[in-house]
Every structure is written in C-alpha cells, then in structure tokens.
C-alpha cells in the first residue's frame, strides 16, 4: 500500500512529514510513502509579517487543497498553524494527532544568555505578538524586531548579528535535531505561555476515508488529542485570529487536565489570564467532551474580563499599523 503525504517544502515540514511516515511504516510493514511537496504563499512571502498577508492559515490552506483535489491522501501540519477561526475544507478533519513535542518557547542566543541577562536594549527577533507582549512584561527595555524565515534562516540571522536573541519553538529545534547544539534557555509557561497547539502535529484527511482513518489511528496520542482539544476549544470560543495575542497551554497530570490561557492587547498594556482544571480519566469516552468543555469554560472567564474587546482592538491596531507601514 502507498500513502501520499502533502507537505510544505521547509526543512522542518519535511522532517515532520518523514517522521509521520516512519511511524506509520513501523505499524504497517510494506507500506510505502510518497511526499507531495507544496510551496505555499506563506513560504513565498518573506518580507512581511504573516498577519499582514493572511496569517498562519497560508501554510495550511494550499497544502489542504492538494488533498481535497485527490493529489495526496493526507497532509501533515504544525497544529499551531491550523486556524481556530476558519473551518477546514468541507469533508476534511484532523484524523490523527501524534505525541506532542515540547510546547514551550526558547530564547536563542549565540552564547546561551537567558532573558534576564540580555543587555539593556538588546534586539530580540520574533514576529509573534503573543511572544512580544509577554516578554516585554519581563523586559520592557528590549527592542523587538520582525523576524521571518525558516529555522535555518533565523539562526543564520542571529549568527550574523542582525539580532542579539531570537525566540523559537522548542519543538521545531528538537525535531530538526539542532536543539542540543543550539545555545538556548527555555522560557517557562509562566514567563511566555505557548501558542495554542504548539509542539503538536495535525494530520488532516478526508473524514469519509475509513481505511486511512484506521491507519492513522495507530499513531494517535490520546493525551495530546485531549490537550489540544481544550486549547482549541478556548481559541474558537474567543474567536481569535492571526492578529490576536492569545496563548493557551493544557497539561495533564495526576488524573487532572489543567488549562492556562492569556489574552493581551496589541501593545501588551492590558493582559488577561485565566486558569481552570478538572478531573479527567483519559480512557473515558467522555474525555474529549470534557476537554472541550474545559476550554470553553476558560474562554468564558476571559470573555467576562473583556477579552472580546481586546481581540477586536488588536485586529484594528494591526490593520492600522499595516496601512502606516505601506
């Protein structure tokens, strides 16, 4: 049997896709995998922040379209790139969520300097408003500058001195095998709460393909599925978009599921937070429903604090900044 996997062409995307293929081959000897490479608009446009050209959904929609057209059997996405405010194509779904990598962010410098030890006024490269608003709370003196490109490009810009530090997802560095050799310090969730779905993969395919679903079930991780269900339920109820500074991190331990969340204004002057947890039996048939309910409960806490206005104001501020820059 052969399965065709649609994927972006970046090194990280290919590493993730090949890992998925290897996991499937372990469960199904004789299975062959073919990669269908897609260059997305998000990959082509490197001179502007993603939010200005359509958001992270640009990394998903064109890859998804290849599957919809029947040119591939399924697609592998970084889950944090899958929008919470835009539904997948009709008949498509996230058929499998494999085991999650470290969801935290890391601060990368040439010598491993941590956040507290960065020199005053240091230039920190990141295009993520979520990261900026949280880190500037810790170090308001730092200068945050836009940084696009794949992992390799960003690390090169750091080495060239274009930035004193950059912020990356630990998962990307770990999956590409460079985390251990890259000087970095981990940013704990109480300093920089991760993006919804960060560190997880989403395998998208046709809901009607029973054979494919049976194959992909072999690499499903129930704990990761429950975590991302809570996080995405929170994001979807908030109606967050690519301009929003929203973070969410679910953790499961000792029979409980906990969800921490944050919403901030565009400039970071206002920051709302909410936390809730619940007893959860991961093997229960109601586990997914309970996780979804927890996500909506946390969203309700944020909405009661005025999250909707912050999200709308952030979208307006982003549009105004885009008009000024153009």
Q: Are 234 and 259 in contact, with CB atoms under 8 Å apart?
A: yes
Six-digit token pair at 63?
Answer: 């890859």
Give the integer Cα–Cα distance in Å for 108 and 125: 10
The question of whether 81 is a catalytic residue gets the answer yes
Q: Which distant-in-sequence residues (6+ apart) come within 8 Å of 114 by Cβ?
A: 107, 185
Give the integer Cα–Cα distance in Å for 248 and 134: 13
Q: Which of 73, 81, 105, 164 is catalytic?
A: 81
Give the integer Cα–Cα distance in Å for 326 and 324: 5
Give the integer Cα–Cα distance in Å for 40 and 220: 27
Residue 257 has φ and ψ, to the nearest 5°, of -110, 125
Residues tagged active-site: 81
């Amino acid at each position: 049997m052969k399965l065709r996997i649609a994927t972006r062409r970046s090194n990280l995307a290919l590493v993730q896709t090949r890992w998925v293929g290897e996991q499937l081959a372990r469960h199904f000897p004789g299975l062959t995998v073919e990669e269908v490479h897609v260059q997305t608009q998000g990959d082509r446009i490197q001179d502007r922040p993603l939010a200005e050209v359509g958001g992270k959904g640009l990394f998903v929609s064109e890859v998804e379209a290849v599957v919809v057209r029947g040119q591939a059997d399924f697609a592998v996405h970084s889950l944090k790139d899958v929008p919470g405010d835009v539904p997948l194509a009709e008949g498509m779904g996230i058929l499998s969520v494999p085991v999650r990598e470290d969801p935290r962010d890391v601060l990368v410098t040439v010598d491993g300097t941590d956040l507290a030890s960065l020199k005053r006024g240091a230039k920190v490269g990141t295009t993520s408003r979520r990261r900026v608003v949280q880190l500037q709370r810790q170090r308001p003196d730092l200068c945050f500058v836009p940084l696009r490109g794949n992992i390799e490009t960003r690390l090169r810009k750091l080495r060239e001195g274009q930035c004193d530090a950059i912020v990356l997802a630990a998962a990307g560095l770990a999956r590409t095998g460079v985390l251990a050799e890259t000087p970095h310090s981990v940013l704990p969730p109480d300093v920089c709460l991760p993006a919804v779905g960060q560190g997880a993969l989403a395998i998208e395919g046709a809901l009607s393909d029973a054979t494919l679903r049976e194959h992909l079930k072999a690499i499903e991780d129930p704990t990761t599925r429950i975590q991302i269900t809570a996080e995405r339920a929170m994001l979807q109820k908030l109606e967050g978009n690519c301009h929003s500074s929203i973070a969410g991190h679910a953790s499961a331990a000792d029979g409980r599921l906990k969800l921490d969340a944050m919403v901030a204004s565009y400039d970071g002057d206002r920051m709302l937070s909410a936390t809730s947890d619940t007893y959860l039996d991961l093997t229960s048939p109601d586990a997914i429903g309970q996780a979804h309910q927890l996500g909506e409960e946390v969203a309700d806490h944020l909405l009661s604090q005025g999250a909707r206005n912050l999200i709308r104001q952030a979208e307006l501020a982003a549009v105004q900044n885009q008009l000024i820059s153009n």
